[in-house]
Amino acid sequence: MVGDRMRGRQAAGMIVILAALAGLPLFVRSDYFLGILSVCFIYGIWATSWDFMSGLTGRENFGHALFIGAGAYTAAFLNGKLGTSPWWGLPAGGLAAGLISLVIGVPTLRLRGPYFALAMLAAATIMQRLTLIFWQYSGGEEGIPGLDPMFETKTAIYYLCLCGFVGITALLLLFARSPWGLILRSIRGDEAASQAAGIDVTFHKIAALVVSACCAGIGGVLYAHYQEAVTPDVFSVTLSITIIIMVYVGGIGTLYGPAVGAVLLALLPELLRGLGQYRLWVYSLVLIFILFFAPGGLIAPLWRRVAAGRP
C-alpha cells in the first residue's frame, strides 16, 4: 500500500517536472537560456550513462570523456569533413563509442582491482594528447569547426536534447529495474557470490559498459552539433571528473538522482554569474563535502523523502 502510494507520488512528481520542462519554451523566449538548458540535458545524459555502468556494478570509470569524445569526433568527421547529414552522427557516434569501450573493457573488466579505472583515465588522456599531436586530421587545439546544427532554431534543439535526455534516462532506468539491472547490482554487492551463482560477471560488466558508452557517445554527438564544433576538451579529465561529481551529488547508483544532479549542477555556475571561472574549484569543494558529510548524495535521498510524504 505504502509502496503504491509512493510510486504514485513519484510518477505524479515526474509528470509535473516533465510537463514543466516541455512547456518551458512557451514562456521563456530567451535563446540563450534555452541553449544553456540544452547543454544541461546533455550533461544529464552523460551522468546517467556513467551511473548505469559504474553506479550499478561498482566499477568506477574515470574516463567517461573517452566515449563522449569518440562520439563527438565521429560526428565531426562525418559532418565536418565528409559532409554527411548531422543525423547520421547519432548512430555512428554511439557505435564508435561502443567499439572503443570494447577495446578498453575486454582486457580490464575481467580483472579485479583498480585496472579498469586507471586504464580509462589513461586512455582518455592519451586520446586528448593524440588529437593535439595528429592535428592534420583532428584540427589540433582548434578542433573541427563549422558543423551543421541539427535544427535551425534553438527551441527545436532544446526539444531534441530534452527528448534525448528523457529517452536515454527512461531506457536506462528500465534496464536498471529489469532482471538485468538486478544482475548488475549483484556484481556490486558481491562479485564472487554472483559468479558462484552462475552469472557470467565479466560478460555483464562489459555489456553494461557498452550500453553506457553508446549513450555517452550519443550525448557527445548532440554536444558537437549543439556547439557546431568539437575541441580536444571533450576528452579532458576535467569533463570525466565533473560528470562523476554530478553523479555523487545526485546519489550514486540511483540513475534518476544523477540525471537531476547533473542538470542542476550544470545550471548552477550559469545562474550565479561570475562563478563560471571558479566552477571547478566549487565542484571539488562540493565533492569533498559530499564524501565527508553526505555519502549517499543529495538529490536521491531528498526525492525519496518527498515521495514518501515525510517532511
Q: Which residues contact other proteins by CB under 8 A?
A: 58, 60, 62, 103-104, 107-108, 111, 113-115, 117-119, 121-123, 125-126, 129-130, 133-134, 237-238, 241, 244, 248, 278, 280-281, 283-285, 287-288, 291-292, 295
> Nearer to other proteins by C-beta: 103 or 308?
103
> Nearer to other proteins by C-beta: 125 or 186?
125
At closest approach, how far in Å is the CB of 291 from other proteins? 5
At closest approach, how far in Å is the CB of 249 from other proteins? 12
What is the residue type of 137? Y
Distance CA 27, CA 264 (A): 20
- Among residues 265, 212, 239, 232, which one has the least CA distance to residue 100? 212
Torsion of Cα atoms, 83 then 88 then 89 then 95, to 10°: -130
- Among residues 106, 109, 114, 99, which one has the least CA distance to residue 67? 99
Looking up cell 562563478, which residue turns up? 275
* Residues in CB range of 189: below 8 A, 6 or more apart: none
At closest approach, how far in Å is the CB of 63 from other proteins? 10
> Nearer to other proteins by C-beta: 155 or 202?
202
Looking up cell 569524445, which residue turns up? 69
Question: What is the Rg, in whole angstroms, of the alpha carbon atoms belonging to the chain?
Answer: 19
Greatest Cα pair distance in the chain:
63
Distance CA 194, CA 185 (A): 10
> Nearer to other proteins by C-beta: 123 or 210?
123
Helix (H, G, I), strand (E, B) or coil at 1: coil
CA 135 to chain centre: 27
CA 286 to chain centre: 19
> Nearer to other proteins by C-beta: 118 or 182?
118
Contact status, residue 216 vs residue 46, Cβ threshold 8 Å: yes
> Nearer to other proteins by C-beta: 21 or 282?
282
> Nearer to other proteins by C-beta: 86 or 139?
139
